[in-house]
Amino acid sequence: MRSDRNLFADLSVGSDIARAWTLPADLYTDPSVLTHEHQHLFGRTWQVAGRREQVARPGDYFTCQIADEPLLVVRDGEGKLRAFYNVCRHRAGPPAEGCGSRKVFRCSYHGWTYGLDGRLITAPEFEGVQDFREEEFGLRPVPVEEWAAWVFVNLDDSAEPLLTALGELTRQAERFPLERMRFFERREYVMQCNWKTYVDNYLEGYHLPSVHPGLNRELDYGQYVTETFARHSRQSSPIRGPESERDAPRRYPDAAGLAAEYFWIFPNWMLNCYPDNVSLNIVMPLAAEQTLAIFEWYVLAELMMSDAAQAGVRFSHETQLEDGDICEKVQRNLRSRSYQRGRFSVHQEKGVHHFHRLYAEWIKRD
C-alpha cells in the first residue's frame, strides 16, 4: 500500500466518461484515507447537523459530531442561530450534552459557564491566574446556516455561503414543500462498507433491475435519467402507470404522470422525493470500512397519522436493506487482489463519474 500522500498525488479521474477510470480500490479500504477525508473533505463542506425544529426557540440546543469534531448548535437569546465546538476552553470538557433548552452552558468537568452566545461567563477558582482574560476564552464558533427543514455547519471558517454552495438545488427542490413538511421518523443503518461504496451505489439506477425488484416495479427504468450540476446531481424516473391484473402489488399504483427524484449533494447527503414523502439521507463514515446511513422521513401535516406515511417508511426500509447487502458484498470484493479500478457505463453511471471527479478535485486541493 502506498502512502496516502502518494496515493492522492496520483489520483485522477478523466473528464471524458468514455475514457475514465473509477477511484482506486485502496481509497475504499485504507484507514489513513479517512483521516485525510475528515480534514480536506468533510471539514470543508456544508454538513447537515440537525433539524430546524430542534432549535426553534431561544435557548434550544443540540449537540452533534461532524468530521470527528464535537459541536454544539443553539438559538441564542436574540433568536440568532449559533454553532460552536463543544469543547470547553479550560481543559476540553463538554460544555453541553444531548439536546434541550438552556439559559447557559456549564461544563460538567470543572464548571466553566458560557452564555448562549459562546462568551465565557464564569471560570471558578481562577483567581490569581496571571494574564488571563475571560473575553479570550469563549467557545470557538463554527459557521452555521439554515435551509428548508435543516441546520448546516461548516468547519471551514472561510466557507462560502450555504445557498451559494447548494447552487441550483434550491430552485429544483421548490416543487417539493420541504419547509411545510414535518419530521415523521428516523432510522439508522450501520453497514460494513466504506462511505464511498454506499454513495457510488446511490448514484446510479444501473442496479435497479438486479437489486431492487420492488422499486423496479414502481419506476420506469427505460426512462431513468441522471443530470449533473456543479456540486450535486439529480436522478429521476417516471412512476409507472396503473398496474394490470398480472402485476405484483405496487406502492404507487395510481401515480401515473408523477416521478421520483433523487438529489445527491456533495459529498454525503441526499434527498429522496416521492409523491407522498421526502426522506433525507446522511452518510457518515464510522471507520474505513464501516458506514452509518441516517434516514429521516418527512410528510405533510395531514399525512402524519396516515397509513401512507407508514407504508412509505416500510418501502424505503426494504430498499435500504437491499442496498446495504450489496454494498457490503462489494466492499469485501474491493479487497481482492484481482481488482484495482473499474470503468463507467456512459449511459448509466454519469452520477458516479461526477462524484469521483469532484472527490478527486477536493481531496487534492492542498
Question: Residue 252: its pLDDT value, please?
Answer: 66
77 conformational bin, left if phi > 0, alpha if psi -120 to 50, beta if neither: alpha
| Calpha distance 153→144 (Å, rounded) | 4
| Calpha distance 345→242 (Å, rounded) | 31
CB 180 within 8 A of CB 304: no
Question: Would you say the pTM of this structure is higher than 0.85?
Answer: yes
Question: Residue 242: its pLDDT value, please?
Answer: 66
Question: Residue 236: its pLDDT value, please?
Answer: 95
170 conformational bin, left if phi > 0, alpha if psi -120 to 50, beta if neither: alpha
| Calpha distance 362→41 (Å, rounded) | 7
The H-or-E segment that residue 308 falls in is: helix 307-333
CB 219 within 8 A of CB 252: no
Q: Is the C-alpha dihedral spanning 363, 294, 350, 229 positive or negative?
A: negative
Contacting residues for 59 by C-beta, under 8 A, at least 6 apart: 74, 75, 77, 101, 102, 103, 116
The three cell numbers of residue 322 are 437491499
The three cell numbers of residue 38 are 475528515
Coil, strand or helix: which one is 350?
A: helix
Cα 66-323-192 angle, rounded to 5 deg: 55
Instruction: Indicate the length of the chain as a whole number.
Output: 366
| Calpha distance 323→185 (Å, rounded) | 20
Hey, what amino acid is at 355? F
The interaxial angle of helices 195-202 and 350-363, nearest 10 deg, is 140
Question: Residue 8: its pLDDT value, please?
Answer: 77
Question: Residue 7: its pLDDT value, please?
Answer: 72
Closest CA to 154 of 142, 170, 167, 163: 142
Cα 167-279-161 angle, rounded to 5 deg: 25
What residues of the chain score a pLDDT lower than 70? 1-6, 241-257, 366
Q: CA gyration radius for the chain?
A: 23
The three cell numbers of residue 114 are 458560557
Question: Residue 336: its pLDDT value, please?
Answer: 98
Question: Residue 250: its pLDDT value, please?
Answer: 65
Question: Residue 98: its pLDDT value, please?
Answer: 97
Question: Residue 246: its pLDDT value, please?
Answer: 47
